[in-house]
Amino acid sequence: MREQNSLPPKLPDRVLNWFLKDDLLEEISGDLYEYYMELGDIPEWKKKLFYCYHLINFLRPFALKKLEGRQKLNNYGMFKNYFKVGFRNILKYKMFSFINVFGLAVAMSVCMLIILMLADQKSYDQFHENKERVYRILGTPYVGSVPYATVPVPLSDAIKDRYPIIEKSTSLRKGVGGDAIYKNQIADLKGYFADDSFFEVLSFPLISGNKNSALSLPNSVVISKDKANQLFKDENPVGRHIQFEDRGLRVLDIDGDADSSVDWGTFTITGIVDNDAIKSHLKFDILMSISTLNRLQEDSLIVDNSQKWDAYQSAFSYILLKDEVSRSELKDALKNLSERQYSDLEDLSEYSFSSQKLTDITPGIIVANEDSFRLPELPYFVLSMFASIIMIMACLNYVNLSVAKSLSRMKEIGVRKVNGATRKNLMFQFLLESILTALLALVISTFILFFLKEAFMNLWVNKYLNFDLNVTVSVYLVFTAFALLVGMIAGIYPALFISRRKPVNALKSQIEEKKGKWGIRKVLSVSQFVFSLLFIVTSIVIYNQFKFFTEFEYGFDSENIVNVHLHGNDHELISTEFSSVPGVKNISACEYIPATGVTNLISLVDKRNEDEVIEMLHQKVSETFIDNLGLSLVAGKGLTTSASDDELTIINESAVNKLGFENPEEAIGSIWKTRENSSLKIVGVVRDFRATLLISGDEIQPMLMTSDPENFNFLNVKVSGENPMRVVSELEERWKKLDSRHRFKYEFYQNELDNTNLVVFDVVSVIGYISFLSILIACLGLLGMAIYTTERKTKEVGIRKVLGAAEMNIVLILSKSFMKLLLISVLIAAPLSFVVNKLWLDNFPNRVDFGFGTVVIGSLLMLGLGLLTIGSQTIRAARQNPVESLKDE
């Protein structure tokens, strides 16, 4: 019955060994052994279970090992003491704690904002089932170009047919955007043509409809849930028919500038996508089945580029790789494909494909022709760098102050060491204190973050970047981990430094204040101020640049000009109506508004060398344009309706040079051919004016203006300076009479120009805030040091005063070392900030003048703040009644 078959399990015995008192171990393990053997013929696992049950039952006070003494099973008492002492210290030195906690908190809030931004961006496109295997194909038109998110339409099918590593592919052709009409409801929809593998490659949530067939038949559309609600209210949309009128709206358009509408016929709703439930880089309200294209192309409603490999701006392509296919195989396939398709194409012989993993799109590398606005990686790097600098500065404050403060805790350290605390224990204690401080800072920084988030969302760019900065539980966990990390980083040096003290010296309060120790602290402080000055100067420079841009002389008169979008209406008709409005002084028309970001190009055949073309900006304007915008004619005359076959044109002075004429007069009358072989006759030359964005280049580009009423998109209405808004509202009345369909869309030209510079202002805001924080933290650190020094020197000050020193002298004595520190910082940072700013500014178009003046202003600002900080402490100390400081001895 009791064979040697099974012995009690080993592991539980070891556990017993660990917790049981040594003198009880033998009898109890013996009893348990015997018990186990007696259990008899029941299954092994049951035996073990019973055994363990009885074993665990020995977790009773009488049987457990003692908590103290040689066996350190539990350091509860020690931890409790650490916490207690930690909290007491935080409360005892309120000013120091405030400086530390507040400094860390502001710095952490910036880091947390960036964590939030990244967390939001990282959550994009996580909902796709096969997200690990889906790639977007990018196309790079020539070596050195940024990759384009768009590719030619035929790519998607070609790659799937030719390369077996591709499981599926889908193509989104651009070009759907207009009004959907159902009964009396109208909704504007922007989106793409998509094929029936769309839902197989990408997992957009289709809440009704069949995902296998939704996009197969011609004239079927899938629309987004919110647009469906707008159109159909309570009805079930699937199976209903809508009328679609294309207006040329594009997904990226923000306010819907569009052409006149073209009827595309009737479509059937085959599915509803819930786009609000997911976060994707791909945004659309409508997907139209790609088979619809045949009909639209036959009716010439849309250009057929289904086989055009050179139309590389027309589609997005996503592929699903087969399982276990490596990225390099995909790379090879793409390389092979681009060589096959493009080596013969003259203009695009360098064209190459590359791939981008679906989850790497947001946040990702800079890509041209994106389908949605988002920040590329670069700004995150820059922002993270700034945030790290701020964070390091705050940590340095902690290091500085803790090390300085540790002198007053020497006795405590000594006593602990004498009582047997090891160096490890002490390090742990001080790390715990820094972590406590960091956690306190975490609480405060979440409050700061709340306001910071608001401010950040109010930046101009955030109108286009849909950041969702809600704090979720997981983000809070990241924050806490971050705070712990900060606590450890900030605390490691003080912990090492403090725990090194010899107990005897510590008990005697003998301060081992070697020169070197102060040296490190000074270096840290100086580096803080160096960074602060760098930031201050940079933000002043960028602000100056911003002001310079807003006051820029464009070379034309934008005052009191209201630009009105024509929405495809005949410009003559609207002009005639508008010109009768009182207060309207002049009206002209043009294709696009100069200097607001849009340009068109034209290529002229070079007369000197027939193989070459000359590229120029091309603007289509009415006869009154030159007069209306206050452009001055240098030679020739204005545009008139052409009498001959040649189209008449006016060029600017830069174009005169570009075309190889010595002076404007020579150019008049010459005839040039365009690449499309129409001829242009130059009739006038205008003085140069800016037609491109200020940041897009230094030089004024050669420009050519023709009159082509077909292509006018805007009216430039010059209104009288008095009460322009009344004129505008009158214009709106007139507009409604002529076009009831489109909204009256207008913009004051001056505002439009100012808006182009708002992004610069955003940069000013960000850098400005960073420099504010850095100087704040640096000054807090300085304040802490000043408080500490003056406190320690109270007696000295008292004695000096008794002996007759003047307040001024005492202030100077106390401040001397700090002032030296500030001066050294300025000496290092001033040339540095000059050079750094010069470097980037030199590559900046239309830059503002930058000289030492700006650096001096920045330096004075910093010195002023620094002196104020020091002064607040030293003056107080100098004014103190010596009786107060000397009486207790």
Partner 1 sequence: MGKEHLGEFEELILLLIILLKDEAYGLAIRRALKEEANRTVTIGAVHGTVNRLEKKGFIESNLGGASELRGGRRKRLFTITTAGKSILEKSRDAKVALWGKIPELSVQNMKG
d(CA 251, CA 177): 8
d(CA 11, CA 519): 56
42 interacts with partner 1 by CB under 8 A: no
37 interacts with partner 1 by CB under 8 A: yes
Write down the least CB distance from residue 71 to partner 1, Å.
19
d(CA 565, CA 741): 13
Which one of the spans 23-31, 319-327, 417-425, 747-755 is the region binding partner 1 (CB under 8 A)? 23-31
Q: Which of residues 173-232 bind partner 1 (CB under 8 A)?
A: none
Residue (of 20, 37, 309, 21) closest to 153 by Cα position: 309
Yes or no: say if 227 and 292 are a contact pair by the CB < 8 Å rule: no
Q: Which is nearer to partner 1, 54 or 800 (CB)?
A: 54
Radius of gyration of the chain (CA): 38
875 interacts with partner 1 by CB under 8 A: no
Look at the alpha carbons of 450, 455, 456, 458 in this order and tell me if their dihedral is positive or negative.
positive
Distances (CA, A) of 395 to 108, 503, 536: 10, 27, 20
16 interacts with partner 1 by CB under 8 A: no
Q: Are strands 315-321 and 134-140 parallel, antiparallel or unpaired?
A: antiparallel
Which one of the spans 54-62, 101-109, 283-291, 318-326 is the region binding partner 1 (CB under 8 A)? 54-62
Q: Which is nearer to partner 1, 21 or 279 (CB)?
A: 21
Identified binder of partner 1 from the candidate list 53, 76, 580, 842, rule CB under 8 A:
53
Task: Spell out the alpha helix ranges (H) of 359-460.
Answer: 377-405, 410-418, 423-457
772 interacts with partner 1 by CB under 8 A: no
Say which residue the tokens 């009159």 belong to.
707
Q: Which is nearer to partner 1, 29 or 599 (CB)?
A: 29
Write down the least CB distance from residue 65 to partner 1, Å.
15
Say which residue the tokens 């030209």 belong to.
749
Q: Is 622 exposed, middle or buried (0-12, 13-18, 19+ CB in 10 A)?
A: buried
Identified binder of partner 1 from the candidate list 58, 267, 284, 546, rule CB under 8 A:
58
Q: Which is nearer to partner 1, 47 or 409 (CB)?
A: 47
Q: Which is nearer to partner 1, 28 or 78 (CB)?
A: 28
Write down the least CB distance from residue 74 to partner 1, Å.
21
29 interacts with partner 1 by CB under 8 A: yes
24 interacts with partner 1 by CB under 8 A: yes
Write down the least CB distance from residue 447 to partner 1, Å.
52
Burial 425-458 (b: 16+ CB within 10 A, else e): bbbbbbbbbbbbbbbbbbebbbebbeebbeebee
d(CA 576, CA 69): 101
Yes or no: say if 432 and 86 are a contact pair by the CB < 8 Å rule: yes
Write down the least CB distance from residue 46 to partner 1, Å.
16
Q: Is 654 exposed, middle or buried (0-12, 13-18, 19+ CB in 10 A)?
A: middle
30 interacts with partner 1 by CB under 8 A: yes
Write down the least CB distance from residue 10 to partner 1, Å.
12
28 interacts with partner 1 by CB under 8 A: yes
Identified binder of partner 1 from the candidate list 17, 18, 26, 831, rule CB under 8 A:
26
Identified binder of partner 1 from the candidate list 1, 14, 43, 62, rule CB under 8 A:
62
32 interacts with partner 1 by CB under 8 A: yes
514 interacts with partner 1 by CB under 8 A: no
Identified binder of partner 1 from the candidate list 48, 54, 279, 726, rule CB under 8 A:
54
- The three-point CA angle 672-678-680 to 5° equals 40
Which one of the spans 53-61, 512-520, 544-552, 856-864 is the region binding partner 1 (CB under 8 A)? 53-61
Identified binder of partner 1 from the candidate list 10, 14, 60, 72, rule CB under 8 A:
60
Number of residues engaging partner 1 in binding (CB under 8 A)? 23
Q: Are strands 262-273 and 220-224 parallel, antiparallel or unpaired?
A: parallel
Write down the least CB distance from residue 70 to partner 1, Å.
22
Write down the least CB distance from residue 53 to partner 1, Å.
7
Which one of the spans 19-27, 41-49, 235-243, 577-585 is the region binding partner 1 (CB under 8 A)? 19-27
List, in order, residues 6 or more apart from 743 with CB less than 8 Å away: none
d(CA 615, CA 495): 67
31 interacts with partner 1 by CB under 8 A: yes
Identified binder of partner 1 from the candidate list 9, 15, 19, 33, rule CB under 8 A:
33
User: Residue 855: in which H helix or E strand, if any?
Assistant: helix 852-879
34 interacts with partner 1 by CB under 8 A: yes
Write down the least CB distance from residue 49 to partner 1, Å.
13
Say which residue the tokens 């967390």 belong to.
119
19 interacts with partner 1 by CB under 8 A: no
Site string for partner 1, 779-798 (x = CB under 8 A): --------------------
Residue (of 363, 347, 273) closest to 308 by Cα position: 347
Write down the least CB distance from residue 30 to partner 1, Å.
3
Which one of the spans 60-68, 362-370, 557-565, 853-861 is the region binding partner 1 (CB under 8 A)? 60-68
Write down the least CB distance from residue 11 to partner 1, Å.
16
Yes or no: say if 616 and 655 are a contact pair by the CB < 8 Å rule: yes
Identified binder of partner 1 from the candidate list 35, 83, 98, 552, rule CB under 8 A:
35
For every residue of 232-300, DSSP letters joined together read HTTS--TT-EEEEEE----TT-SS------EEEEEEEEEEEE-GGGS--S---SEEEETTHHHHHHHTT
| Tokens linked to 705 | 């203006």
Q: Which is nearer to partner 1, 62 or 76 (CB)?
A: 62
Task: Write out the residues near partner 1 by the rule CB under 8 A.
Answer: 2, 7-8, 24, 26-35, 37, 53-54, 57-60, 62-63
